[in-house]
């Protein structure tokens, strides 16, 4: 049983500590800071996030996505064919993102996230998994003005991102996570999703994780087990129905158990986490469990995120001690 | 309901940028280096400056500019029972807000906005809008640690905001705006709840009521949004180059519209001609008596200079259209 995170970590500390990242962005916008200096600030904040997550007791880290404006902009800014447009609500959250607009053929122009992954892996006390926003989610959250055919758009994104995954693998990543929260609003498009996953992961020689969040996978299960991935990460908070859904067929993958509510400050207890781990151990062997939050942690203030990770680690320890 | 005598009344969404002296005073106050009395004196000074600026620009329906508010939800959370503020959360870019947590039953200790409204109205003969945040948005933009369901929280908040609206009306407010920018967060699951809550808020009011909804997927809640219990829906159109007008062609837009013709999140000042063009496009879809002219959103993230320039263009563009129409 391992602890992990799903993605983002709050970029700024709690007041009154100065939010260095935030003031640096303001300086950058006013032309009082160079992009190189900003990059160094992001380096420092990334290293700080990695160290905080590790200290809280997390085994497999992300880079905290400190450099991501949002999950869409970060990747589409690097791909060919996209412009970045106005603000849109991110699913059912009160977080906004800038909507990518596809204005031409989607192409992979070169590595987007590889340098950032290398930096994180080189500055982390624990293993780091790179995270990539998946083709269906990118398509759902973008506006297509080029393909005119939603399936073609998704497949073009899958082909472009396949090159990104290969570049991450070549840079040394042994586990890569692809996020597809968008799948949960597109259940009737599973055949397309399946084709997209085949193209996305083709020839990518790493352990493969696919994460969904913000809902349950009723209607997608057990079909989701046919996808070419090793780990399936699910949200058991917004998607508490997943407990019931997973009983309908034998779960044959490793499981990302999202049980810590990443979208509410209400604090879990060690015991509740341990209970969820025991319950999950009835679905998959404990060794195949990756216990984590329900989604990225940037929905929370920093101290709450950190405290939640500590509770998570304590709960998992408790479950392991009981099992031993 | 005719709210003003003039065609195409101009107004704004609510917030204006705080002057540097007030930002500094708020920082000092947060560090306990400045007393509440002195902070309030500066908030009043800044409010008066914005009333004067709005009069000079020639706006028809004024706002107090929200010099005394940090954030549209946290302000109400601070003033009401049942809330705590656990910290800052990012909404986009480097914008953070103090997201409240509901930790007990919510309710009003005393009127929240009436004294500021009364003060602002005392400074001008033009009408000043009463500005409230809607129950659905307060609930949606707070962490809920207390109520078993969102519904119970939203309805308790609706009753409290209704009491506030009644108090504003008693104080003399003829326009009351209840902002619901979060209303399309969960359109399938929750839209009826938001409608039910707004009905509670505006029940029995005589004032002209407005609700501001911004960003998100407006077509997704159309035409259902026309059932929201207010006279006017104030919407962001400029931001998406008036794409929403296609949605409003059919079925017909039956409420008044606060037509957002100025992008609240760009530094660029729109020209009066752009405003003219925007209003002309709207007039092809929505009849003249239903249109109010407004920016897309609150202007608090702009500078004072940008705000004045944008609103001056807006009023000038509106005047040109009025002149054309009167020919």
Position B217 scores a pLDDT of: 82
3-state helix, strand, coil in chain B (%, to 5): 45, 20, 35
Would residue B8 count as lying in a domain?
no
Cα dihedral B82, A8, B220, B249 sign: positive
Would residue B31 count as lying in a domain?
no
> Stretch A57-75: mean pLDDT, rounded?
97
Residue A297 is classified by DSSP as G
Residue B1 pLDDT > 60: no
Residue A234 CA to residue B123 CA, distance in Å, equals 56
Would residue B134 count as lying in a domain?
yes
CB contact (8 A) between residue A86 and residue B239:
yes
Q: Which residue in B28, B33, B89 has the most chain A C-beta atoms within 10 A of its own C-beta, making it the best mutation to test that interface?
A: B89
Would residue B17 count as lying in a domain?
no
> Does the structure's ipTM exceed the value 0.85?
yes
Per-residue pLDDT band for A295 (boundaries 50, 70, 90) equals: very high
All domains in chain A, ordered by first residue = 2-323 (3.20.20.210)
> Stretch B284-292: mean pLDDT, rounded?
97
Residue B260 belongs to domain spanning:
58-326
Specify the pTM: 0.90
CB atoms within 10 A of CB B207: 20
CB contact (8 A) between residue A89 and residue B144:
no
Per-residue pLDDT band for A322 (boundaries 50, 70, 90) equals: confident
CB contact (8 A) between residue B86 and residue A266:
no
Would residue B51 count as lying in a domain?
no
Q: Give per-residue pLDDT as tens, B23-65.
A: 999 999 988 999 999 999 999 999 999 999 999 999 999 999 9
User: HEC string of B299-317?
Assistant: CCCCCHHHHHHHHHHHHHH
Distance from CA of residue B238 to its chain's centroid?
A: 16
List the alpha helices (DSSP H) in chain B: 20-30, 36-57, 74-79, 114-122, 135-140, 150-171, 187-202, 244-249, 272-283, 304-326
Per-residue pLDDT band for B187 (boundaries 50, 70, 90) equals: confident
Q: Which of B115, B25, B15 is nearest to B64 (CA)?
A: B15
Distance from CA of residue A192 to its chain's centroid?
A: 21
Would residue B276 count as lying in a domain?
yes
Per-residue pLDDT band for A87 (boundaries 50, 70, 90) equals: confident
Residue B122 CA to residue B101 CA, distance in Å, equals 35
Q: Give per-residue pLDDT as tens, A169-212.
A: 999 999 999 999 999 999 999 999 999 999 999 999 999 999 99
Measure in Å the smallest separation between the Cα of A235 and chain B Cα atoms. 18
Radius of gyration of chain A (CA): 19
Would residue B253 count as lying in a domain?
yes
Residues of B with CB under 8 A from a CB of A: 30-31, 86-94, 96, 99, 101, 140-141, 143-145, 182, 184-186, 215-217, 239-240, 265
Q: Please, are residues B129 and B182 in contact by the beta-carbon 8 Å criterion?
A: no
Give the CATH number of the domain where residue B151 resides: 3.20.20.210
Residue B15 CA to residue B7 CA, distance in Å, equals 24
Q: Please, are residues A114 and A131 in contact by the beta-carbon 8 Å criterion?
A: no
Point out the residue among A12, A87, A263 whose CB comes nearest to the CB of B92.
A87
Closest alpha carbon within chain B to A74: B93
Q: Which residue has the tokens 């269906």?
A: A136
End-to-end alpha carbon distance in chain B = 25
> Stretch A51-58: mean pLDDT, rounded?
98
The token pair that represents A137 in the structure block: 């989610």
* E-assigned strand segments in A201-316: 207-211, 231-235, 254-260, 289-293
Q: Are strands B232-236 and B256-262 parallel, antiparallel or unpaired?
A: parallel
Q: Exposure of A193 by Cβ count < 10 A (0-12 exposed, 13-18 middle, 19+ buried)?
A: buried
Residue A29 CA to residue A27 CA, distance in Å, equals 5
Q: Are strands A231-235 and A207-211 parallel, antiparallel or unpaired?
A: parallel
**b/e for B52-85, b at 16 or more Cβ within 10 A?**
ebbeebebbbbbbbbbbbbbbbbbbbbbbebbeb
Residue A127 is classified by DSSP as -
**Total domains present in chain B:** 1
Position B2 scores a pLDDT of: 44
Residue B3 pLDDT > 60: no
Q: Which of B146, B139, B141, B143 is nearest to B161 (CA)?
A: B139
CB contact (8 A) between residue B182 and residue A94:
yes
Point out the residue among A16, A96, A264 whose CB comes nearest to the CB of B215.
A96
Closest alpha carbon within chain A to B241: A86
The token pair that represents A128 in the structure block: 């780091």
Measure in Å the smallest separation between the Cα of B85 and chain A Cα atoms. 10
> Stretch A239-245: mean pLDDT, rounded?
97
């Amino acid at each position: 049983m391992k602890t992990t995170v799903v993605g983002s970590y709050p970029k700024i500390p709690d007041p009154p500590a100065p939010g260095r990242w935030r003031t640096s962005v303001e300086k950058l916008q006013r032309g009082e800071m160079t992009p190189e200096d900003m990059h160094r600030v992001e380096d420092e904040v990334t290293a700080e996030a990695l160290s905080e997550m590790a200290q809280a007791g997390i085994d497999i880290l992300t880079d905290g996505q400190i450099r991501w404006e949002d999950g869409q902009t970060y990747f589409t800014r690097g791909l060919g064919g996209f412009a970045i447009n106005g603000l849109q609500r991110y699913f059912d959250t009160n977080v906004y993102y800038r909507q990518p607009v596809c204005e031409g053929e989607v192409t992979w122009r070169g590595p987007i996230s590889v340098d950032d992954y290398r930096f994180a892996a080189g500055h982390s006390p624990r293993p780091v998994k790179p995270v990539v926003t998946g083709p269906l989610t990118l398509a759902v959250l973008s506006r297509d003005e080029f393909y005119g055919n939603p399936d073609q758009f998704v497949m073009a994104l899958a082909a472009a991102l396949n090159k990104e995954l290969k570049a991450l693998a070549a840079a040394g990543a042994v586990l890569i996570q692809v996020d597809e929260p968008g799948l949960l609003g597109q259940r009737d498009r599973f055949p397309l999703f399946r084709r997209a996953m085949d193209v996305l992961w083709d020839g990518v020689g790493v352990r493969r994780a696919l994460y969904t969040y913000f809902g349950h996978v009723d209607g997608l299960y057990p079909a989701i087990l046919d996808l070419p991935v090793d780990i399936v990460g699910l949200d058991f908070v917004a998607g508490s129905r997943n407990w019931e859904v997973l009983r309908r067929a034998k779960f044959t993958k490793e499981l990302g158990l999202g049980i810590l509510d990443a979208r509410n400050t209400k604090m879990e207890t060690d015991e509740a986490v341990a209970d969820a781990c025991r319950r999950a151990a009835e679905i998959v062997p404990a060794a195949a469990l990756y216990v984590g939050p329900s989604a990225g942690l940037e929905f929370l203030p920093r101290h709450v995120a950190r405290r939640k990770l500590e509770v998570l680690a304590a709960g998992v320890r408790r479950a392991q001690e009981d099992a031993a | 309901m005719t709210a003003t005598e003039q065609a195409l009344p101009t107004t704004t969404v609510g917030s204006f940028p705080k002057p540097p002296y007030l930002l500094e005073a708020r920082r000092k106050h947060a560090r306990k280096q400045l007393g509440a009395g002195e902070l309030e004196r500066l908030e009043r000074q800044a409010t008066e400056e914005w009333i004067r600026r709005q009069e000079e620009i020639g706006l028809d329906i004024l706002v107090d500019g929200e010099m005394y508010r940090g954030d549209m939800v946290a302000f109400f959370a601070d003033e009401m029972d049942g809330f705590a503020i656990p910290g800052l959360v990012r909404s986009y870019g480097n914008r953070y807000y103090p997201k409240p947590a509901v930790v007990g039953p919510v309710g009003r200790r005393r009127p929240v906005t009436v004294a500021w409204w009364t003060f602002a109205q005392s400074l001008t003969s033009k009408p000043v809008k009463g500005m409230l945040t809607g129950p659905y948005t307060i609930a949606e933009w707070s962490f809920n640690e207390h109520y078993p369901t969102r519904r119970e929280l939203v309805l308790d908040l609706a009753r409290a905001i209704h009491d506030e609206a009644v108090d504003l009306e008693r104080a003399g407010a003829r326009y009351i705006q209840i902002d619901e920018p979060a209303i399309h967060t969960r359109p399938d699951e929750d839209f009826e709840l938001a409608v039910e809550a707004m009905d509670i808020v505006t029940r029995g009011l005589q004032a002209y009521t407005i609700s501001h909804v911004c960003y998100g997927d407006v077509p997704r809640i159309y035409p259902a949004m026309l059932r929201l219990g207010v006279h006017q829906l104030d919407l962001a159109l400029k931001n998406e180059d008036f794409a929403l007008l296609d949605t409003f062609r059919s079925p017909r837009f039956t409420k008044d519209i606060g037509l957002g013709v100025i992008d609240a999140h760009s530094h660029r000042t729109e020209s009066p001609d752009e405003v003219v063009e925007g209003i002309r496009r709207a007039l092809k879809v929505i009849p003249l008596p239903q249109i109010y002219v407004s920016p897309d959103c609150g202007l608090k993230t702009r500078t004072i200079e940008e705000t004045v320039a944008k609103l001056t263009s807006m009023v000038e563009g509106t005047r040109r259209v009025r002149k054309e129409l009167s020919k």
